[in-house]
């Protein structure tokens, strides 16, 4: 019987293409085989598509042609079984479907007589082997990337403040972008002061020329890369870790920790970590009224064996305060802080509006990121087609792929970061304003870390006492604005919405999480 065949060629992976399994190579081998075996070619289909399913544009056309031309075709030829499919279950189903049309699928380099049941075992092997190879390659890539990170190398597109370059060995690295790095450093320094909200600092940084969206700015200020560290996420049995990077830091580790403390109350080297004594919550926040050095704290044994705690100076000035007395003074200070309820309620609503605006901004930014991801994916796909058509070299395609795949990964990670940063707004705001209305009561209910976080949040400058009376307790600027003695909040008018919204954003940015993390 005169055999009539449809030829089908497909590219699976880039590595196979580089080893000689390009579309042109497959087509040449199939046509040579048909010429030698006197097989008539009645159809030819080629595509660059995944073989995980049979929902492929060209294969769908091939199947439609086979159904329309029933009994006019008796062979479907391809070079290897992984050109046909990589899913054993789907492959068996499609083989049965083709057999009903009188078509025998056959791989030129892996011929199998599927009327013999045992050969289906070999078919399963042929279908699974490439997938195993791909999985192994993926594991090797992951292992290589983790090894590079452990060596301190940053992989992927450079974050704002840096730019990508290659060293003399051709390895990628990041160096400081002189146009952006000073603005990034300025932003960190401003946040560490705790005066303006993060949103206000972002707006000022944008005016200075910072190339970062509002939502992504949060990712920037939480990234330890800027102080010279590389984060390595946990993987399988390996725990997450942080290593020193080979890149030049833009800010110091101390400044980065200060910013994290302002944002989340996680200042590792702050005075909050210097004491475990419940009796000395003010240690690290007091200045000596004589020499202006920081006061420390310790316990003295009484004549009857009891312990008495004191805040004292280590210099020769001899300043010494009873800890119990100063601790009570602090609570009295908290009691004296009464906030304007009308202003609080107004700012509560303003905060809600601010969060709503942020959500809209995230939605818009997400669309922009998804557009960027599609653009980079299209560039890789176009480059692959150019390589397969012989218009560019495989090395050029590999370079294009290495350039854009990390960008796609980082953009995808940004979307995940934004989504994970979503807050329970009502719970967040209700706690914040209940705290603001009863500082002394909440302070007494907190553990030591929570108390120290509240002290730091309320008094960004150190506290000075003279003869156990407060001399200079400079209060957080946002809280001082809301104090009843400040007449600026006693006349809130509807026409001042835009101005007051700015004030509300300022208050929302005031180290709220410093307190919640301590409860």
The residues pairing with 402 across neighbouring beta strands, listed in sequence order, are: none
Residue that is last in its domain, among 98, 120, 135: 135
Domain count, the chain: 3
Query: Six-digit token pair at 113?
Result: 């007589």
Same domain, 83 and 166: no
- The pLDDT assigned to 513 comes to 30
Query: Six-digit token pair at 284?
Result: 């690290």
Same domain, 225 and 261: yes
Residue that is last in its domain, among 239, 269, 299: 269
- The pLDDT assigned to 505 comes to 38
- The pLDDT assigned to 14 comes to 52
Helices (H) and strands (E) in the chain, counts: 19, 14
Same domain, 172 and 55: no
Same domain, 13 and 124: yes
Same domain, 15 and 56: yes
Same domain, 104 and 188: no
- The pLDDT assigned to 141 comes to 72
Let me know if residue 85 belongs to a domain.
yes
How far is the C-alpha of 202 from the C-alpha of 213, rounded, in Å? Answer: 9
pLDDT, tens digit only, all 519 positions of the chain: 689 999 999 986 554 545 545 788 899 999 999 999 999 999 999 988 777 788 899 999 999 999 988 788 999 999 989 888 877 778 888 999 999 999 999 999 999 988 888 888 888 888 877 667 767 777 777 777 778 888 888 888 899 999 999 887 777 889 999 999 999 999 999 998 877 888 889 999 999 999 988 888 999 999 999 999 988 877 777 777 888 888 999 999 989 988 888 887 543 434 334 446 888 888 878 888 888 888 888 888 776 767 889 888 877 788 888 889 888 988 888 887 766 667 667 777 776 676 665 555 667 777 888 888 988 888 888 888 887 777 777 777 788 888 888 888 888 877 776 665 555 556 666 666 777 777 788 888 888 877 887 887 777 667 777 665 555 556 666 666 655 544 444 444 444 444 444 443 333 333 323 233 333
Let me know if residue 122 belongs to a domain.
yes
Q: Name the phi and psi angles at 365, rounded to 5.
A: -65, -35
Q: Which residue has the tokens 């029933």?
A: 70
The residues pairing with 297 across neighbouring beta strands, listed in sequence order, are: 311
Same domain, 16 and 131: yes
Q: What share of the chain is helix, strand, coil (3-state, %, to 5)?
A: 55, 15, 30
Same domain, 227 and 177: yes
Query: Cα angle at 444 between 441 and 450, to 5 degrees?
Result: 110
How far is the C-alpha of 415 from the C-alpha of 410, rounded, in Å? Answer: 9
Same domain, 11 and 71: yes
Coil vs helix vs strand at 26: helix
Residue that is last in its domain, among 404, 421, 438: 421
Let me know if residue 354 belongs to a domain.
no
Let me know if residue 445 belongs to a domain.
no
Let me know if residue 19 belongs to a domain.
yes
Let me know if residue 141 belongs to a domain.
no
Same domain, 8 and 109: yes
CATH number where 207 lies: 3.90.1750.20
Let me know if residue 428 belongs to a domain.
no
- The pLDDT assigned to 107 comes to 93
- The pLDDT assigned to 515 comes to 30
pTM for this one?
0.37
- The pLDDT assigned to 339 comes to 66
Same domain, 64 and 178: no
Question: What one-character-per-residue DSSP string does 165-226 give?
Answer: EE-TTS-EEEEE-TTTHHHHHHHHHHHHHTSS-HHHHHHHHHHHT----HHHHHHHHT-GGG
Q: Which residues contact 78 (CB under 8 A, 6 or more apart)?
A: 7, 8, 9, 10, 26, 30, 84, 105, 106, 107, 108
Count CB-CB contacts under 10 A for residue 22: 19
Q: Which domain range does residue 30 map to?
A: 4-135
Same domain, 101 and 220: no
Query: Six-digit token pair at 515?
Result: 């307190």
Q: Which residues contact 85 (CB under 8 A, 6 or more apart)?
A: 51, 54, 91, 94, 127
| CA end-to-end distance (rounded Å), the chain | 84
* 313, 291 contact by CB (below 8 A): yes
CATH number where 116 lies: 3.40.50.1390
Let me know if residue 484 belongs to a domain.
no
- The pLDDT assigned to 473 comes to 57
């Amino acid at each position: 019987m005169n055999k009539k065949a449809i030829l089908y060629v497909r590219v699976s992976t880039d590595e196979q293409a580089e080893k000689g399994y390009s579309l042109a190579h497959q087509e040449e081998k199939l046509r040579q085989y048909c010429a030698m075996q006197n097989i008539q070619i009645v159809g030819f289909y080629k595509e660059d598509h995944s073989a995980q399913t049979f929902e492929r544009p060209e294969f769908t056309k091939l199947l439609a042609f086979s159904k329309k031309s029933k009994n006019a075709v008796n062979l479907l030829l391809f070079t290897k079984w992984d050109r046909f499919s990589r899913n054993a279950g789907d492959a068996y189903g499609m083989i049965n479907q083709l057999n009903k049309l009188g078509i025998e699928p056959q791989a030129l380099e892996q011929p199998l007589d599927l009327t013999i049941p045992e050969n289906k075992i070999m078919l399963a092997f042929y279908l699974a082997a490439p997938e195993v190879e791909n999985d192994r390659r993926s594991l090797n890539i992951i292992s290589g990337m983790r090894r590079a990170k452990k060596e301190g190398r940053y992989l992927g597109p450079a974050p704002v403040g840096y730019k990508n370059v290659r060293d003399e060995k051709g390895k990628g690295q990041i160096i400081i972008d002189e146009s952006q790095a000073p603005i990034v450093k300025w932003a960190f320094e401003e946040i560490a002061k705790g005066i303006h909200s993060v949103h206000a600092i972002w707006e000022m940084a944008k005016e200075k020329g910072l190339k970062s969206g509002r939502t992504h700015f949060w990712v920037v200020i939480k990234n330890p890369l800027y102080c010279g560290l590389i984060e390595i996420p946990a993987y399988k049995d390996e725990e997450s870790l942080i290593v020193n990077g080979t890149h030049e830091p833009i800010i110091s580790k101390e400044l980065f920790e200060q910013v994290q403390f302002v944002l989340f109350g996680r200042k590792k080297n702050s005075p909050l970590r210097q004491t475990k004594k419940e009796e000395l919550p003010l240690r690290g926040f007091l200045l000596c009224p004589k020499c202006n050095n920081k006061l420390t704290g310790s316990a003295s044994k009484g004549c009857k064996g009891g312990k008495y705690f004191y805040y004292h100076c280590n210099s020769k000035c001899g300043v010494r305060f009873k800890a119990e007395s100063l601790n009570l003074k602090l609570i009295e200070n908290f009691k004296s802080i009464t906030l304007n309820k009308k202003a609080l309620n107004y700012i509560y609503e303003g905060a809600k509006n601010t969060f709503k605006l942020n959500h809209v901004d995230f939605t818009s930014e997400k669309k922009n990121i998804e557009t960027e991801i599609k653009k980079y994916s299209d560039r890789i796909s176009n480059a692959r087609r150019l390589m397969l058509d012989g218009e560019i070299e495989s090395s050029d395609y590999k370079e294009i792929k290495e350039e854009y795949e990390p960008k796609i990964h980082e953009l995808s990670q940004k979307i995940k970061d934004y989504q994970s940063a979503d807050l329970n707004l009502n719970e967040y705001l209700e706690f914040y304003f209940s705290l603001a209305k009863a500082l002394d009561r909440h302070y007494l209910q907190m553990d030591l870390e929570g108390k120290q976080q509240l002290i730091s949040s309320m008094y960004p400058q150190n506290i000075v006492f003279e003869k156990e009376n407060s001399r200079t307790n400079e209060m957080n600027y946002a809280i001082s604005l809301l104090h009843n003695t400040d007449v600026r909040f006693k006349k809130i008018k509807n026409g001042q919405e835009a101005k007051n919204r700015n004030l509300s954003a300022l208050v929302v940015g005031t180290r709220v999480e410093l307190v919640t993390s301590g409860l």
